[in-house]
A and B are shown apart, each in its own frame.
Chain A
Amino acid sequence: MSAYLSQMAAIGFFVVVGWAALWPVRRVLGPAGYHAAALPFGLLAPLLAGVFSSLSGRPLDGIATVIGALALVAVMHALFKSLGSAPQWKPERADARSMLLGACLWTAASALFALTRLTVTNNDSVMAYWPRGVELTRTGMFTGSTIATRSALLPAMNAVHVVFGSDWAYAIYPAMALSVLMWLWISFTEGSLRTSARRTATGIAAIAAVFLAIEPSFIFHSFMAHSQMVSALYLLIALTAVWKVALPDRPGGSSDLTWLVIAGSATAGFAHARPDGLAYMFVPIAVAIGVITRDRVDRRAVAAFFIPLVLLVGSVYGATYATQGLWDSTKLSGSITLAILAVLLFAVVSPWVLQALDRILPFRVSGERFMGTLVVAALAGTAIIFALKWETASGALLNAGTNLFGGAGGYSYLWYGVVAALILSFVSGDALRPGSWTRASFLGMALFFVIVALVHGVSHEGRLGVGDSMNRVVFHALPLVIFHVGSVVGRVLSQRGSNASARTEETKA
């Protein structure tokens, strides 16, 4: 197969698998959300293909790829059906137009990305991510080395590219970037700005999407064969999907469970995007726990979020333990992974633990209070750990500061603007307003940055420059930051709009 066609075929495969997996809940997602979520959901299939190939001993070939796809579709359909999400199986007239538009969009996009042939790499890309994908097509095995240093998602994704005849996966990264922009758009128009005037919502969504699209770091990671764009994509989907359930203006009913399944699945993708994703995945987990404990804990809500997460995370690591035993690594050893998985299992029952604490303690810790309490506790804990490991932490913080604010990391003025906007959103009360999208996004970002600082601050000092690990990881939160600031702007403009309407009516009266 030609280089171009193989890229398009791989992207087409992931999109079709995603469509199939999300078919029963396409109405809940809406046409735009359905097509925006197709690629990231389809990218979960190689994980299950790798589980099958690891356990069966066969290479990750065409058969394993198909089995992984079928397994993903089966799991998602079973979840949507059993959790009472009112799945809609029968195609309707509106579906034909939506599918035609979606097919045209993804065909055109994948052709464009394939034909431009643009890519950019570092040593990780050419010596780890791609070769480990090729290795999977030969051995089928998730090795301890692969899991510890690169995690499963990208090597498995690359393996599927090899199956389709590729010699280098490059078009998939701008395709992920397109998904980020699409999801950002609908996070505004069908999320935080859903109740704003249509012109305000589309205007803010458009400006936000364009701003992100022309940001040099976004353009760079749109072509960089690495884990940044896929992590940003899954983090954005996971958090905004949970927030859809959290807010007072949510549709409610069975669609809540659908959004939790989507959030849990995206969290699994986030966890598998890079080894430290196992730490960062606790950000959407914490947000979900806060949402689930808002009222009396509904076990279906717990199941909706945690079953896909535990299944997708547990199956990959389970297959690795089964074939590799407890692997050694200075990065992510088998024993550390086991400890993190134990924490994940505790997280499954933590909603009930929080409910019990509410009865015992004189103050509430569950619901909306949970995220705030957790952020404060995480900050305090991180500060203590930094104090104990000050030599490494101070070096890491200095390098991070110089990268973000001193220009060394290539962000120029961006993070100054971000910090100014966040401070102003705090002053205006948006950052902590109960029951608001802006509180949810502010605390979600805060927890993410605390965990990033903790992970990087104690592991190594990092370095100055765009290639520094922490400098790249903060990019994961950039779409979220833009979402938060855009949501605050939406509140400001909507308030002005309602004030103007009130004055107009008063004048008429």
Chain B
Amino acid sequence: MQPPARGAGRSLSDKLLLLVVAVCVAVAVVRLLLVIATVPYAFYVDARSGGKTSGGEPIEVAMRIKNSTPFATWWGERKIPFRAGGDYLKVMSHSSAKRTLGCVAGVVLRDQQRYGLDIRTVITPLDEAALFGTVAGTPMTRADGTAYVAEWAPIGYGAAFFTDVPFVQTPYRPVLTPAAAARLDNRLKLRRIERDIYVPASGAGAGTTYVVVAVQRGADRDFLIVPVELVREDVGL
């Protein structure tokens, strides 16, 4: 039997490769174990110290976990998965922003129609800055160097995926009288409202035209869309 060739052991590059792989695997496992070991404790301490919502809103739970250093260094700046139960509007509430208003409006409209409501038209303000609260017009640059200004997509663009009901942009000054606001507060039964709510200054008919009402809740800009039937002008909402 021939003796094995000289240098039949691993080459330096092979040994280094095994070392690199072993280190990567070890680091991955240790980081995960650190997260498992510390995150539940971080959550417990925060809940014990009087966190406002023990067992509360998923977004706040995620924020507490995100503040845990081992988790933050492991997970990076990624969003944290949340439990939304296959409910589009619930999912949307985690991503809600001005530009999602159209899709939410479309879904709510579709659902209202399923309940038998006869919706023919939806009115939204022509002045989208008035609806969104800020002016669009972020200067942007294309890859070829040409400049353009980003605008808000009309609400109807997002809504059109879900419904055929036309969204008509009409120039009107968004006004909500104190009395109408109080009635709306009572109707929506929200605990805390910070809102920009817009209704036509003059009625466009009753029964078949709905006004999309955007309610901004809290600093996170959750939009709750409430189709409100337009009634007589003197009654308002």
Q: List residues of A whose CB falls within 8 A of some B CB.
A: 3-4, 6-7, 114, 116-123, 125-127, 130-132, 134-135, 138, 166-170, 207, 211, 214-217, 220, 223, 330, 392, 407-414, 417, 420-421, 424-425, 427-428, 458-460, 465-466, 485, 488-489, 492, 495-496, 499, 502-503, 505-506, 509
Contacts and interface: CB of A to CB of B under 8 A. Distances in A.
Contacts of B24: 211, 413-414, 417, 421
A466 B78 contact: yes
Given A122-B79, A410-B76, A509-B1, A3 B85 contact: yes
Given A126-B88, A135-B161, 10 more contacts: A6-B86, A118-B83, A119-B81, A120-B82, A121-B79, A122-B79, A220-B75, A420-B20, A428-B14, A460-B143
A466 B77 contact: yes
Nearest to B80: A120
B29 interface: yes
Which 3 pairs across A and B sit closest by C-beta, in order of nearness? A410-B76, A3-B86, A131-B161
B100 interface: yes
A490 B84 CA distance: 42
B73 A412 contact: yes
A428 B4 contact: no
Given A4-B86, A127-B100, A428 B76 contact: no
B99 interface: yes
Contacts, number: 162
A42 to B, nearest CB: 20
Contacts of A122: 79, 95
Contacts of A502: 4, 8
Contacts of A138: 162, 164
Contact of B11 (A134, A135, A428, A509): A428
A117 B84 contact: yes
Contact of B25 (A207, A409, A410): A207
20 contacts: A3-B87, A118-B81, A120-B78, A127-B158, A135-B161, A167-B86, A168-B84, A214-B29, A214-B32, A392-B143, A412-B74, A417-B23, A420-B20, A427-B13, A489-B17, A489-B18, A499-B9, A502-B4, A506-B1, A506-B4
B162 to A, nearest CB: 6
A276 to B, nearest CB: 14
B28 interface: yes
Given A123-B97, A126-B95, A211-B28, A424 B17 contact: yes
Task: Name which of A125, A223, A420, A506 has the most chain B CB atoms within 10 A of its CB.
Answer: A420
B106 to A, nearest CB: 8
B91 A168 contact: yes
A483 to B, nearest CB: 13
A444 B107 CA distance: 43
B10 A492 contact: yes
B105 to A, nearest CB: 12
B112 to A, nearest CB: 15
A417 B83 contact: no
Contacts of B18: 489, 492
Contacts of B77: 408, 410, 465-466
Contacts of B85: 3, 117
B99 A407 contact: no
B13 A499 contact: no
B92 interface: yes
Nearest to A146: B161
A121 B100 CA distance: 13
A109 to B, nearest CB: 17
A75 B232 CA distance: 61
Contacts of B161: 131-132, 134-135
B16 interface: yes
A485 B14 CA distance: 11
